[in-house]
Amino acid sequence: MRKTLLTVSACICINLLAKAQFIITPKLGVTVSTMSLSDNVAFGDVKSKAGLALGAAFELPLTDALSIQPELLFVQKGWRETSSSAEIRLGLNYLEIPVLAKYRFGEADELHFFGYAGPYFGFGLGGRYRFSGGGSSESATVRFGDEPDNYSGNDLYLGGSDEVSRMDAGLNIGAGVGLPLGPGVATFEARYGLGLVNLNKPGQGQSRSDVLSQHRVFGIFVGYSLSLGN
């Protein structure tokens, strides 16, 4: 009985999606990111770091102006820390899934503006680390997880699940403009991502504020939207 209900539900969902109109928007952007760090974590001045972002948005209209827009993105985040004698650069790559409520101001087939907001969920893929100071420098590939036993390589492991969070989540808010161009719409947008998950997890005797480390990301994207379906 349960399998029958699941099968029927899946068929209904597929049928609705097949009949629905949705909009796909491949996009490419640049990020300027930093990290909100507590004094116990930061060793110097925290500065921003540039990166890339790319992926696609899938917009499902609910009304003429309101829509739900899930996205699948590859996003580079990170930060720099500098002191009088050294600099650290840490870049982290994430697979990110924002789920946004989007509202359009103006007609879709004319120059229009839009705004959106909603949560995002990220999964850490790895990254790069670089240290320079004292007349020398070193770099390494960043990996999430525990360092293997008897490991002798140069990769930097960001602890286990009890030390460093591989998962990230937060809120995105943004706005942009759409310009009809050919069969679709060229889009230009800016957004801000406010991370709510600590990269570092509190140890014994520590509070959340003792090891505060949350992503802050500003991004600028260009895209091209195409309507699919009925």
**Strand 136-144 relative to strand 156-158: parallel, antiparallel, unpaired?**
parallel
Look at the alpha carbons of 66, 70, 74, 76 in this order and tell me if their dihedral is positive or negative: positive
Q: Give φ, ψ of 63 to 5 degrees.
A: -135, -170
Q: Give φ, ψ of 119 to 5 degrees.
A: -80, 160
pLDDT of residue 16: 45
Q: Which two tokens stand for residue 5?
A: 């209900």
CATH 2.40.160.20 fits 21-228, yes or no: yes
**Cα gap 53→57, rounded to integer Å:** 12
Q: What is the mean pLDDT of each run of 10 residues along the chain (230 residues)?
A: 57 54 93 81 75 96 94 94 80 95 94 97 91 80 84 78 80 97 96 91 57 88 89
CA dihedral 90, 168, 47, 129 (to 10 degrees): 0
Q: Whose CA is closest to 214, among 116, 92, 115, 97? A: 92
pLDDT of residue 4: 61
67 has which bridge partners? 61, 102
Q: Are 228 and 24 in contact (CB under 8 A)?
A: yes
**Cα gap 53→145, rounded to integer Å:** 24
Q: Give φ, ψ of 134 to 5 degrees.
A: 65, 25
Q: Give φ, ψ of 114 to 5 degrees.
A: -150, 155
Per-domain boundaries in the chain: 21-228
